[in-house]
Amino acid sequence: MSEKNIDPSLQKLLDLADVKINGNRPWDMQVHNPKLFQRILAEGSLGLGEAYMDEWWDSEAVDELINRFLKSDADKKLNISPKIAWLILKAKILNQQNKIKAHEVIKKHYDIGNDLYQKMLDKSMAYTCGYWKNADNLEDAQAAKHDLICRKLKIEPGMTLLDIGCGWGSLIKYAAEKYKAKAIGITLSKEQARLAKKLCQGLNVEIKIMDYRALKEKFDRIVSVGMFEHVGYKNHYEYFNSTCKSLKDNGLMLLHTIAGNTSVKNTNAWLDKYIFPNAVLPSAKQITTAYEGLFRLEDWHNFGTYYDNTLMAWHKNFNDNWDKIKDNYDERFFRMWNYYLLTCAGTFRSHRNQLWQIVFSKTSSQRTYESCR
């Protein structure tokens, strides 16, 4: 297929991003099906991703291709397809993150196989952005992230620490071992809970399968790492109200979340369908509006570019270990998972997505706080 056969509006977007069809640069698109661009025009980001899964196109550097599209704002210049319009309308009308729907992402993403995550992640099983300030490998970056959180929370021996959405327990394991905290982790994932209990065996750590909205106890410190993206804008206030009630008067809470530059009510259609059902990235405005009157802002730290490093490290691990796990998956999953990791890396490289760590104290708190980096 040559560029002469492409719709003029699409050709303009390709030119803006400096992407050539069947070019020889790593980020150029290699097109295998001439119907590709018709599919993109009809279905937007969903069609682009599904076409990649269907082997309609390839790129040696999908991450850089996405980075170039996003930096040029090419995605914003595409007309919204009927499918995408329906997704936007549905997000506005329905609460896609209610207690029933909250389990959908667990089934479709977090419970698809601990073997996959054990081969892709570092030894601690941390599935969130590492802190690469003084690190040159994934394991050190994740340990630095855990330590940064503990230092920001001013954790002392014997303090109770609640981790909302604790994953495989990497942070609470670290806090219990290094800072002697009494740590409790909650998750909706049975597979994560099963492995977390094994990894934290012998430590002052408790893992519970429960929704954050069912919390009744009070804690010295609360942390939530990579979970707020699943809360949904309709439930932001409920989240902060619940955590406020669960935090002791002079306690501290840290929120670690992926975020967007603008307020939205839906997510990328392809990610919603295949990777993170019902997830929506919060904006600064949505967060500050939701916690107003409940919490006092103590610190706001952005290190979103480190997610690029983290995702590319996961991508390498996944591909290096594919032969060890491929019997449990298929080739379409392999392309889907690579597309997920690489496109997300591109969103952070382009600064379209951010990674924030925000520290809160209660409005009634009398403490003086000084953060760290």
- In the chain, the amino acid numbered 127 is Y
Within 130-192, strands assigned E span: 160-164, 182-187
* Residue 264: per-residue pLDDT: 94
* Residue 87: per-residue pLDDT: 46
CA angle 135, 339, 25 (to 5 degrees): 85
Q: Which domains does the chain have, with CATH numbers?
A: 3-79 (no CATH), 102-362 (3.40.50.150)
Those residues with Cβ within 8 angstroms of residue 354's Cβ, 6 or more apart along the chain or in another chain:
258, 259, 260, 261, 302, 304
Please name the residue ranges forming H helices in 185-235: 190-199
Specify whether the CB–CB gap between 152 and 255 falls below 8 A. no
* Residue 64: per-residue pLDDT: 98
Q: Distance between CA atoms of 314 and 336, rounded to whole angstroms?
A: 14
* Residue 11: per-residue pLDDT: 85
Active site residues: 344
Specify whether the CB–CB gap between 74 and 16 falls below 8 A. yes
The 10s digit of each residue's pLDDT in 99-143 is 555 556 577 777 778 999 999 999 999 999 999 999 999 999 999
Count of helix runs (H) and strand runs (E) in the chain:
15, 9
Those residues with Cβ within 8 angstroms of residue 94's Cβ, 6 or more apart along the chain or in another chain:
none
Specify whether the CB–CB gap between 269 and 87 falls below 8 A. yes
Q: What is the pLDDT along the chain (373 residues), one digit of tens a residue?
A: 455 567 777 888 899 999 999 999 999 999 999 999 888 888 889 999 999 999 999 999 999 999 999 999 987 776 555 554 444 445 455 555 555 555 565 777 777 789 999 999 999 999 999 999 999 999 999 999 999 999 999 999 999 999 999 999 999 999 999 999 999 999 999 999 999 999 999 999 999 999 999 999 999 999 999 999 999 999 999 999 999 999 999 999 999 999 999 999 988 999 999 999 989 999 999 999 999 999 999 999 999 999 999 999 999 999 999 999 999 999 999 999 999 999 999 999 999 999 999 999 999 999 999 999 9
The pair phi, psi for residue 133, each rounded to 5°, is -55, -45
Specify whether the CB–CB gap between 139 and 317 falls below 8 A. no
Q: For helices 62-71 and 331-349, what crossing angle results, to 10°?
A: 40
The pair phi, psi for residue 105, each rounded to 5°, is -70, -30
Strands 295-302 and 219-225: unpaired
Lookup: tokens for 190: 């049975």
Strands 57-58 and 30-31: antiparallel
Residues 270, 17, 81, 352, CA torsion sign: positive
Q: Distance between CA atoms of 310 and 181, rounded to whole angstroms?
A: 27
Q: What is the DSSP string of 99-125?
A: TTGGGHHIIIIITS-HHHHHHHS-TT-
